[in-house]
Amino acid sequence: MTEIVVRRSAWRMWLTSLVATPLIVLAVDVLTQRRITNSLRDVLFRPDDTQLFEFRDVVWAWVILIAAGGVAIWALRELIAPTKVVAADLSGVRLQVTAPFRKPLFIAWSDVEDIGSATVEDEGETFPVLWVRVGDIEVGLPEPWSARWMDERTLAVMASDWEMDPIDVAKSLAELAIEASTGPDGMPTSEPHDHEHRSDMTALSPDDTEGTEA
């Protein structure tokens, strides 16, 4: 195994585009013939309490159309050509945590201290993450996209829409890191980092996280 590629889940992107479609249809209806919205209005309101359309309804229709249209286009684009959220080879790992149209963040294996996965709780919601702890280097990414810094050296990447479980991704990356640290004769080319499998997340956030490390 000399290369690992993880993309966003195709079926999740398909569901996202389906969710956005009704919003687009309703927004277009409000801005044009209003056949659907008029039918809904007749069902929801009594004849003597009919709600009239106002200018703000048109404004909201435009907002919904732009937002839902953007989500649908993004989801269809991911469905046709999924983004490589994680790509790794013997040189290091690339994480798609940068702004759109920018190159992924590259971290060489020599700068990776540990790799793992976890389930993180944030504002009452839980979601899986893949985390990478870097050494004493300057990453130069203070505000990552679809990720966040758990501490000064640990970057957690959101993995809820990936095609692979982040636990499996972490294990595969750890194996590749070990392979990259050994030479042709099987001997280590440098001091190996800690990629041992564990069952806690105390190194990240002992208060609100739990998961596994690889």
pLDDT at 179 over 90: no
Q: How confident is the model at residue 205 (pLDDT cuts 50, 70, 90)?
A: very low
Task: Write the single-letter amino acid at 24.
Answer: I
SS3 assignment for 153-199: CEEEEECCCECCCHHHHHHHHHHHHHHHCECCCCCECCCCCCCCCEC
The predicted-structure confidence for 65-111, as pLDDT tens digits, reads as follows 999 888 888 777 777 778 889 999 999 999 999 887 788 999 999 89
The predicted-structure confidence for 31-71, as pLDDT tens digits, reads as follows 887 777 777 776 666 655 555 567 777 888 899 999 988 88
C-alpha 59/C-alpha 93 separation (Å) is: 44
Confidence (pTM): 0.64
pLDDT at 169 over 90: yes
What residue ranges do the domains of the chain occupy?
A: 9-80, 84-213
Q: Provide, rounded to the nearest whole percent, the portion of the chain with pLDDT above 90.
A: 20
Q: Provide, rounded to the nearest whole percent, the portion of the chain with pLDDT above 70.
A: 79
Provide the pLDDT for residue 34: 79
Provide the pLDDT for residue 87: 93
C-alpha 72/C-alpha 59 separation (Å) is: 20
Count of CB atoms situated within 10 Å of the CB of 122: 12
C-alpha 185/C-alpha 97 separation (Å) is: 35
Provide the pLDDT for residue 189: 53
List helix spans (H) across the chain. Answer: 10-31, 35-44, 55-80, 166-180
CA dihedral 82, 84, 85, 89 (to 10 degrees): 160
| Better-scored residue on pLDDT, 90 or 12 | 90
